[in-house]
Structure 1
Amino acid sequence: MAKRPGTHIPRKRFGQNFLVDQGVIDRIANAIGIQEGEHLVEIGPGQGALTERLAPTGCRLDVIELDRDLVAGLLAAFSIYPGFKLHSADALKFDFSSLAEDGRPLRVVGNLPYNISTPLIFKLLENAAIIQDMHFMLQLEVVERLAAQPGGKAWGRLGIMAQYHCQVEHLFDVPPAAFNPPPKVQSAIVRLTPWRASPWSQCEESELRKVVQAAFAQRRKTLRNNLKGLIDGAALEALGIDPGCRAETLQLSQFIEIANAVNEQT
């Protein structure tokens, strides 16, 4: 087993909270269920706590680390594994399609910094066609939004777009004490598995994003008000949707119907 990088003071500007609880690390590795020959991508390996479980499995492992102070230690610890490759880069700017040239789908994992988790997930959803699944440590609130159902405050743009692309599973929660330094929020592990046979009707994704963003722009307002300029009340009624209701009451399938109607109008 490789020796992990040594002491590193977590940096607030990178949103660093290093996972140190071995029981939680084992549970994450077991949830991922790595098989020899698979292609894994770890975002933000930090001090290599999870990398230590991934690298010896015989998989191809690309890790993406922004903090250059961690790079030398990661290379020293894990370069002994032939499938290991480190990319000193910002995951938000990284070209994930460049890793899929061997034809193997990517299995993406990571303890995502809370300050970039939502934009990074949206970026990865754009690459869903080349991804087998994703396992992430996120702020519990973000996982609840990803896995939300209509009718609650957590239901919104993130959950709708994630569920349009993926099956979302909230696997288990992780307490602050599992990290150094302990964050001020609860965390959770989520699995996102891109649909191979989608349960949803197809639509122009750009229209769906536009409709959802507008519908939730002011949550307390009705669909009639928020979607003004995209679709009128009569057209909503023709779809069987009450223009006087709020966006949080609609099913994903209804947002898809609205997006298709808007697309037909243009």
Structure 2
Amino acid sequence: MAPTASRGGSSTSATPPSPRSRRSPKASRTFRSPGSPGGALTPSQIRALAARHGIRPRKSLGQHFLVEPALARRIVEIASVGPDAHVLEIGAGLGSLTLPLARTGAEVVAVELDRFLVPALEEVVGEFPRVRVVVADAVSAEWKSLLDHGQEWVVVANLPYNVGVPVVMRLLETEPMVERMLVMVQREVGERLAADPGQPAFGAVSLRVAYRAESRLVRKVSRTVFWPRPNVDSVLVSLVRRPPPVRVDEAALWHVVDTAFNQRRKTMRGAMVRLGLERAQAEEALAACAIDFSTRPERLGLEAFACLTQRWLETSGSARVGGSSR
């Protein structure tokens, strides 16, 4: 989806706004009470804003608006956003996080897929010249055209439930200017992003995150702070970019990881055989990496998978699966 950028009252359609677009005077007149004393919208303000614009949350887009101002302020504090920061907010919604982010004086690019929310969002942040509202799909947006590559960016977002993993992985894998993220996602997703080997939620996604970032669960978030109330709780997850901690052909690494987790209840000996090794070769590779033959993939971290990948490449004589060596 082609992004549409605006400041204040520009077009809400998916077509580029007119060069003459400017902040809407109506928005400036209407929204006279911008949030609680700490700078975030109260539940009554959010509901009134939605009613004024004829907005109802859309389940198809995973919309659950944050309606707890104390939590919104706390998220901005945890993210350490100040006037020198450059912030990408994804799923800006009705401005629950956008307003306290804007009040820090930071540059904020607020991305929202639902163009019908944009007039309400612009009403909330129209007075802040460093806030830019962009209509775009975060899963496919061309971030390189939206974000200044001369700056380091921090993502602060209440991510829509249906796109949490793809958005986080795309930013980690393709957008190096994003240095860190603080994202609110449904609990199951957050646990997958931050899981360590041996934990129930650990899987291929956990390894892909660990390859590019240090991740941790910051806090649990009750479902009661959202409107409409979802059926599950959420968590706040911190991700800080780092260089890959292992040196191995990346495409080969993910081929080994995906093969193993496609049948995660099977042993790693079976996974190595499925990769084309003879049983004896598989056992030799596992022994060289100090891994028991009966170990299952969810017990192994990046270092173990990197070791097995290197042994697989050396033993099978496989050409690189694609991608570059790290």
The two structures share one fold, judged by TM-score above 0.5: yes
Equivalent residue for 1:223? 268
Q: Does 1:94 align with 2:141?
A: yes
Q: Does 1:51 align with 2:51?
A: no
Offset at 1:202? 2.2
SS in structure 2 at match of 1:189: strand
**Does the 8 A contact of 1:44 with 1:110 survive in 2?**
yes
Stretches (4+) displaced over 6 A: none
Moved more, 88-97 or 72-81: 72-81
Q: Does 1:174 align with 2:218?
A: no
Q: Does 1:209 align with 2:223?
A: no
**Does the 8 A contact of 1:217 with 1:226 survive in 2?**
no
Change (3 A) 1:156 1:140: same
Count matched residues: 264
**Does the 8 A contact of 1:18 with 1:181 survive in 2?**
yes
Moved more, 59-68 or 147-156: 147-156
SS in structure 1 at match of 2:162: coil
Paired residue type of 1:257? C
Q: Distance in 2 between matches of 1:263 and 1:43?
A: 39
Q: Distance in 2 between matches of 1:227 and 1:115?
A: 33
Equivalent residue for 2:295? 245
CA deviations 1:152-182 (Å, max 9, x no partner) are 3211111111111111121111101100111
Q: Select 1:23's aligned residue among 50, 66, 70.
A: 70
Q: Does 1:127 align with 2:174?
A: yes
Q: Distance in 1 between matches of 2:125 and 2:149?
A: 22
Change (3 A) 1:80 1:261: farther
Offset at 1:128? 5.0
Q: Distance in 2 between matches of 1:179 and 1:153?
A: 27
Report 1:118-197 matches (<5 A): 118-127=165-174, 129-195=176-242
Paired residue type of 1:44? G
Q: Distance in 2 between matches of 1:145 and 1:102?
A: 29
**Does the 8 A contact of 1:157 with 1:213 survive in 2?**
yes
**Does the 8 A contact of 1:207 with 1:262 survive in 2?**
no
Q: Distance in 2 between matches of 1:263 and 1:82?
A: 54
Offset at 1:110? 0.9
Offset at 1:206? 1.9
Q: Select 1:260's aligned residue among 290, 301, 310.
A: 310
Moved more, 226-235 or 141-150: 226-235
**Does the 8 A contact of 2:87 with 2:108 survive in 1?**
yes
Equivalent residue for 1:64? 111
Paired residue type of 1:242? D
Equivalent residue for 2:285? 235
Moved more, 127-136 or 159-168: 127-136
User: Structure 1 length normalisation: TM-score?
Assistant: 0.92
Offset at 1:105? 0.9
Moved more, 2-11 or 32-41: 2-11
Please identify the structure whose Cα radius of gyration is greater. 2
Offset at 1:76? 2.8
SS in structure 2 at match of 1:57: coil
**Does the 8 A contact of 1:128 with 1:194 survive in 2?**
no
Q: Distance in 1 between matches of 2:262 and 2:155?
A: 31
SS in structure 2 at match of 1:211: helix
**Does the 8 A contact of 1:38 with 1:59 survive in 2?**
yes
SS in structure 2 at match of 1:90: coil
Structure 2 unpaired stretches of 5+: 1-32, 36-40, 320-326
Paired residue type of 2:249? E
Q: Distance in 1 between matches of 2:206 and 2:86?
A: 26
Offset at 1:80? 2.4
Offset at 1:241? 2.4
SS in structure 1 at match of 2:287: helix
Paired residue type of 1:165? R
Paired residue type of 1:239? C
Q: Percent identity?
A: 36
Q: Distance in 1 between matches of 2:144 and 2:310?
A: 28
CA RMSD of aligned residues (A): 1.9
Paired residue type of 2:176? A
Structure 1 unpaired stretches of 5+: none
Equivalent residue for 1:82? 129
